[in-house]
Homo-oligomer: A and B are copies of this chain.
Amino acid sequence: MTDQKYTVAVLGCGLIGQSWAALFTAYGYDVIGWDPEPKPLSVLQGQIARSRDQVRVPETARLKKGCFRLVDTPEAAVASAFWVQENAPELVPVKVDLYRRVEAAASVNTVIASSTSSLTWSELAPGLKYNRRFITAHPFNPPHIMPLVEIYAADEDARRTAVSFFRDLGREPVVLSRDVVGHIANRLASALWREAVNIVAENVADVAAVDAALVHGPGLRWSVVGAHMAYHLGGGPGGIEHYLKHLGPSQERRWSTLGTPRLTPDICERLVQGVMAEARGRSVAELEAERDRCLLRALSAREECRDQDEPD
Contacts and interface: CB of A to CB of B under 8 A. Distances in A.
Contacts of A272: 239-241, 244
Number of copies: 2
Pick the most buried of A118, A150, A221, A236: most chain B CB atoms within 10 A of its CB.
A221
A189 interface: yes
Pick the most buried of A217, A231, A279, A311: most chain B CB atoms within 10 A of its CB.
A217
Interface in A194-248: 194-196, 199-200, 202-241, 244, 248
Given A140-B217, A199-B187, A251-B190, A228 B176 contact: no
A60 interface: no
Interface residues of A, number: 114
Nearest to A247: B118
Given A199-B184, A212-B174, A305-B294, A244 B271 contact: yes
Given A189-B218, A228-B271, A251-B263, 6 more contacts: A172-B216, A210-B227, A215-B225, A225-B287, A241-B272, A248-B268
B298 A223 contact: yes
Interface stretch (A1-9, A47-55, A253-261): A253-261
A147 B226 contact: no
Contacts of A118: 250
Contacts of A184: 199, 204-205, 209-210, 213-214, 217
Contact of A223 (B208, B212, B223, B268): B223
Interface of A is mostly: helix
B225 A291 contact: yes
Interface string A275-305: 1001100001101101101110111111011
18 contacts: A147-B220, A174-B209, A178-B205, A181-B257, A186-B254, A191-B195, A200-B228, A214-B222, A214-B227, A219-B224, A220-B298, A225-B291, A228-B271, A232-B287, A241-B268, A290-B308, A290-B309, A297-B304
Q: Considering the complex of A and B, which 10 residue pairs feature the smallest CB-CB distances, nearest first?
A: A211-B226, A219-B222, A148-B217, A301-B301, A191-B195, A223-B223, A185-B217, A148-B216, A172-B216, A184-B213
Contacts of A37: none
Nearest to A197: B228
Given A213-B185, A226-B212, A287-B232, A251 B193 contact: yes
Contact of A146 (B190, B204, B221, B250): B221
A274 interface: yes
A193 B195 CA distance: 12
A121 to B, nearest CB: 12
A215 B223 contact: yes
